[in-house]
Amino acid sequence: MPRKSEFLTLVSELLSTLGTVRARSMFGGHGLYVNDLFCAIVMDDVLYFKVDAHTRGRFEAAGCAPFKPFADRALMLQYCEAPVEVFEDLAAFRLWATLGLEAALRSAAVKTRRRAKKSER
């Protein structure tokens, strides 16, 4: 199980301005939940925010690399590295973190609709 680093503690504190934060070990790093929405990952002291069709272009335009948990596999999850400026300016952190949280909200809404359709059958 990975140890909680000072970096993870810093990111958790910054995210706490958006809601209740919980960190869970995964992929050899930590998944971060804000108000029970999985919206960020910390791996090897790198922060990744959740992205979707609405936000991916913005992250790509900022030069943010996708999260790729296994170097030897093509699998890439729906997360992108946070821009450098998020650690230089609290307003920038909140802006990018909010994009991740909004993507997580949209993802949760889709999953809820799918479950509802399944239960109707």
Assigned domain for 48 exists: yes
Cα end-to-end distance, the chain, whole Å: 40
Q: Give the total number of structural domains in the chain.
A: 1
Query: What is the pLDDT, as a whole number, of residue 1?
Result: 43
* 16: containing domain: 6-120
Query: What is the pLDDT, as a whole number, of residue 121?
Result: 66
Assigned domain for 22 exists: yes
Assigned domain for 96 exists: yes
Assigned domain for 86 exists: yes
Q: Whole-model pTM? A: 0.86
The kind and range of the H/E element at 33 are strand 29-34
- Dihedral in degrees, nearest 10, Cα atoms 48, 52, 57, 62: -10
- Given a cut of 70, the residues of the chain with pLDDT beneath it are 1-4, 74-76, 112-121
Give the separation between CA 105 and CA 8, rounded to whole angstroms: 22
CATH of the domain at 73: 3.30.1460.30
Assigned domain for 1 exists: no
